[in-house]
């Protein structure tokens, strides 16, 4: 902490922009550690398809500590939630500060990043997973009837067991153990890894072909056959896991799968960029720079980390 403030560096950008390599290089320069802000990289075994790039943390220099990678079971009934991330990211920041490391948050999941920077309150706390398991097979109409009059269910939620059980959790006071609230007295330096869109498109295609040729299909088969992750759950992870799962099940030819996936990933990168630009419009200052410009990134980080310190 500096003058009572938690100071956290954030590195964001669309998929395939090189933000992981940038975060690792800065961590080595700043005596830092990387906290992942990626909604799929939290899952064990989702390595190639999620772009976990684990080798980047241990090659090219001193190994860099990481947090929030491989901490969730992909076969679990309930997904890793935003509240889970807020709790775990806060804990990781405090732990790294206590050991004298600079927390460097890196990822492309815009909701995670915005929630942490803006300090989302998330009333009601995290999911009561035991309660959800107990009601998974219950009659939806019973939940809808019990909640009617207190909530507007006209948007189709009366047949959505996930949303109904969540409302029941809050209604029955099952979420009195909150996730702990946002990190108070925190300041964030946000660096955006910038590349022209045409370059991002080229990098996405090259990376996709490399992953398809070097184990992504086998990874997804292994997750289903050995780790017992259902096809439905794999498809819920989106993009690579959805399209390759359908290919493995015999739904589409390889070339069709590859070309369709390429389009989807490029569309996803555009949505990520739109999210980050929206964050800027809402007041989050993002310093965009090429990920290779480590000297300027380091200068900004030192200025941020040292501001307010009396000589």
DSSP 222-271: HHHHTS---HHHHHHT-HHHHHHHHHHTTSS-HHHHHHHHHHHHHHHHHH
The pLDDT assigned to 164 comes to: 59
More confident residue, 83 or 202: 202
List the end-to-end C-alpha distance of the chain, in Å, as a whole number.
16
Q: Range(s) for CATH 3.40.50.300 in the chain?
A: 6-123+178-306
Query: Is the pLDDT score of 156 beyond 80?
Result: no
The mean pLDDT of the chain is 87
Model pTM? 0.83
pLDDT at 310: 47
Residue with the larger pLDDT of the pair 150 and 42: 42
For residues 207 and 181, give the distance between their C-alpha atoms in angstroms, rounded to a whole number.
Answer: 38
Of the given ranges (24-38, 123-137, 228-242, 281-295), which has the lowest mean pLDDT? 123-137
| Residue 177 binned pLDDT confidence (cut-offs 50, 70, 90) | very low
CB neighbours of residue 65 within 10 Å: 14
**pLDDT over 80 at 142, yes or no:** no
Examine the pLDDT at 128 and tell me if it is beyond 80: no
- 169 or 8, which is more confident? 8
Residue 160 confidence (pLDDT): 56
Q: How far apart are the C-alpha atoms of 43 and 207, rounded to whole Å?
A: 21
Q: Is 42 helix (H, G, I), strand (E, B) or coil?
A: coil
Domain 6-123+178-306 falls under CATH 3.40.50.300? yes
SS3 assignment, position 215 = coil
pLDDT of 166: 59
Percent of the chain with pLDDT over 90: 74
Q: Is the pLDDT of residue 183 over 70?
A: yes
Cβ-proximal residues to 55 (8 Å cutoff; 6+ apart), any chain: none
Give me the mean pLDDT over the 15-32 stretch: 97
Of 147 and 264, the structure prediction assigns the larger pLDDT to: 264
Question: For the residues 49-67, what does the mean pLDDT come to?
Answer: 95
Region 221-242 average pLDDT: 96
pLDDT classification of 206: cutoffs 50, 70, 90: very high
CA dist., res. 86 & res. 112, Å (int): 8
Whether 290 shows a pLDDT value over 60: the answer reads yes
């Amino acid at each position: 902490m500096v003058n009572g403030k938690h100071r956290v560096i954030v590195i964001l950008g669309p998929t395939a922009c090189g933000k992981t390599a940038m975060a690792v290089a800065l961590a080595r320069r700043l005596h830092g550690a990387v906290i992942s802000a990626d909604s799929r990289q939290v899952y064990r075994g989702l390595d190639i398809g999620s772009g976990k790039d684990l080798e980047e943390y241990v090659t090219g220099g001193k190994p860099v500590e990481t947090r929030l990678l491989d901490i969730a079971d992909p076969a679990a009934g309930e997904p890793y939630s935003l509240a889970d991330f807020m709790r775990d990211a806060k804990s990781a920041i405090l732990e790294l500060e206590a050991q004298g490391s600079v927390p460097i948050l890196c990822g492309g999941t815009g909701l995670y990043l915005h929630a942490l920077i803006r300090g989302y309150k998330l009333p009601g706390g995290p999911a009561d997973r035991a309660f959800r398991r107990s009601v998974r097979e219950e009659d939806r109409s019973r939940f809808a009837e019990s909640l009617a009059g207190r909530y507007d269910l006209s948007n189709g939620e009366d047949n959505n067991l996930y949303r109904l059980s969540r409302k029941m959790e809050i209604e029955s006071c099952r979420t009195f153990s909150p996730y702990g609230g946002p990190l108070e007295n925190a300041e964030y330096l946000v660096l955006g890894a910038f590349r022209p869109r045409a370059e991002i498109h080229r990098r996405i295609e090259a990376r996709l072909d490399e992953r398809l040729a070097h184990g992504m299909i086998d990874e997804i088969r292994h997750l289903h056959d050995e780790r017992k992750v259902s096809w439905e759950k794999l498809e819920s992870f989106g993009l690579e896991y959805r399209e390759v799962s359908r290919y493995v099940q015999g739904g589409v030819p390889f070339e069709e799968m590859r070309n369709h996936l390429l389009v989807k990933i490029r569309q996803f990168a555009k949505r990520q960029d739109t999210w980050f630009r929206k964050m800027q419009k809402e007041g989050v200052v993002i310093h965009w720079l090429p990920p290779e410009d480590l000297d300027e990134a380091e200068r900004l980080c030192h200025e941020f980390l040292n501001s307010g310190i009396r000589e």
